[in-house]
Amino acid sequence: MTTRAGFVALIGEPNAGKSTLLNRMVGAKVSIVTHKVQTTRARIRGVAMEGEAQIVFVDTPGLFQPRRRLDRAMVAAAWGGAADADIVVLMVEAHRGITEGVERILEGLTEIAKGRTVALAINKIDRVPAEKLLGLSEALNARFEFARTFMISAERGHGVADLRKWLAAELPEGPWLYPEDQIADLPMRMIAAEITREKLTLRLHQELPYQLTVETENWEERKDGSARIDQVIYVMRDGHKGIVLGKRGETVKAVGQAARAELEEFLDRKIHLFLQVKVRPNWLEEAERYSEMGLDFKDGN
Ligand SMILES: Nc1nc2c(ncn2[C@@H]2O[C@H](COP(=O)(O)OP(=O)(O)OP(=O)(O)O)[C@@H](O)[C@H]2O)c(=O)[nH]1
Ligand SMILES: [Mg+2]
């Protein structure tokens, strides 16, 4: 039996649907998804099996024009993910087409594409009439030599099986990189922190989701099979702390309940989740925050 294995990096603008596609490929939610841009902050690996092939999908932060240190570290992580992969899949939103951001990514791709297979996935095809897709595909293929173009809906699943089959066949021959039943390569404490950050991002408005980070400080296994998880939400200002807490602590309570419910489903056991909000004006400049997120602090320079 010939096995195949390798890395497939999903890149694209923020909100393109990279994390949605990774989760669908893996068949479980390992990367958080929101309707807001810049949800994913680090590289997240999810493992999918297709016949005798093991496809390690690498979800990356969206590519955009970075301003802050954190933004720069995120964008560096995304390009790094592409540069390390056997195959790169560029995701473009069907209804937005070739934006300035997509143009810039295409320029960057030319650099890293040397000797690498690059495929195009036009995502969210459920949002546009079919006749618009051909024109977009042609325009994109005129700008870059994609090995293949797929029309998909990561959310609804259209075209995803075809993409997975094609990727499996393109991967190099070799032994599997992970045990067959492993679906993610991310410490559980980090997944737990991400789930809480997702719930915060869904509930908080404007800039606030971009000015906080969540860390799992303690994870205690209990005799009854449950676990106690303590997390800290770092914010930058007293005012932010007030907003995260909400009136009589209602906001953080709702976030905690939603996060706990999802954690219990994911881990299939009882979880006691304790959230604490701390003001840390400078967390965006602290190396330790970056390592907790799985980012390289130096990349943010
Ligand atoms: N209509 C539609 N919406 C989609 C599709 N795929 C993803 N979405 C939605 O697009 C939004 C962004 O999805 P994500 O998967 O978080 O996008 P991302 O590329 O990972 O975004 P960042 O992590 O911010 O870079 C979410 O609201 C998804 O539900 C799709 O095929 N069709
Ligand atoms: Mg994402």
Q: In the chain, what are the domains?
A: 4-170 (3.40.50.300), 188-300 (3.30.300.20)
172, 37 Cβ separation under 8 angstroms: no
Q: What is the pLDDT of residue 114?
A: 83
Q: What is the pLDDT of residue 180?
A: 87
* H helices present in 7-130, as ranges: 18-26, 69-84, 100-112
Q: Residue 126, annotated ligand binder?
A: yes
Which residues contact ligand 1 via a Cβ below 6 A?
12, 14-20, 33-35, 37-40, 61-62, 123-124, 126-127, 153-156
Q: Give whole-number Cα distances, 49 to 18, 66, 139, 161, 209, in Å.
A: 18, 34, 33, 12, 34
Angle at 11 between CA 36 and CA 98, to 5 degrees: 75
Q: Residue 60, annotated ligand binder?
A: yes
Ligand number nearest CA of 37 is: 1
Residue with the smallest CA separation from ligand 1 atom 12 is 15
Residue with the smallest CA separation from ligand 1 atom 2 is 124
CA of 118 to the centre of ligand 1 (A): 21
Residues of the chain with pLDDT under 50: none
- The reported pTM is 0.97
Residues counted in the chain: 301
Q: Residue 141, annotated ligand binder?
A: no
The two tokens of residue 249 are 């602590």
Residue with the smallest CA separation from ligand 1 atom 26 is 35
Q: What is the pLDDT of residue 138?
A: 97
Q: What is the pLDDT of residue 113?
A: 85
Q: Residue 175, annotated ligand binder?
A: no
Residue with the smallest CA separation from ligand 1 atom 16 is 33
Which ligand 1 atom lies nearest to the CA of residue 62? 25
Strand pairing class (227-235; 213-221)? antiparallel
Angle at 173 between CA 167 and CA 176, to 5 degrees: 85
Q: Residue 249, annotated ligand binder?
A: no
C-alpha to C-alpha distance for 79 and 278, rounded to whole angstroms:
32
114: how many CB neighbours lie within 10 A of its CB?
6
* Run of H or E residues at 134: helix 131-143
Best residue among 20, 124, 160 to mutate for probing ligand 1, ranked by most atoms within 8 Å of CB: 20
Which ligand 1 atom lies nearest to the CA of residue 35? 27
Best residue among 33, 70, 126 to mutate for probing ligand 1, ranked by most atoms within 8 Å of CB: 33
Cα first-last separation, the chain: 47
Q: Residue 112, annotated ligand binder?
A: no
* Type of residue found at 41: R
Per-residue exposure over 115-137, b if at least 16 CB sit within 10 Å of its own CB, e if not: eebbbbbbbbbeebeeeeeeebb
CA of 60 to the centre of ligand 2 (A): 7
Residues 6+ apart with CB under 8 A from 198: 32, 33, 34, 39, 259
- Residue 86 phi, psi dihedral angles, 5° rounding: -75, -40
CA of 143 to the centre of ligand 1 (A): 24
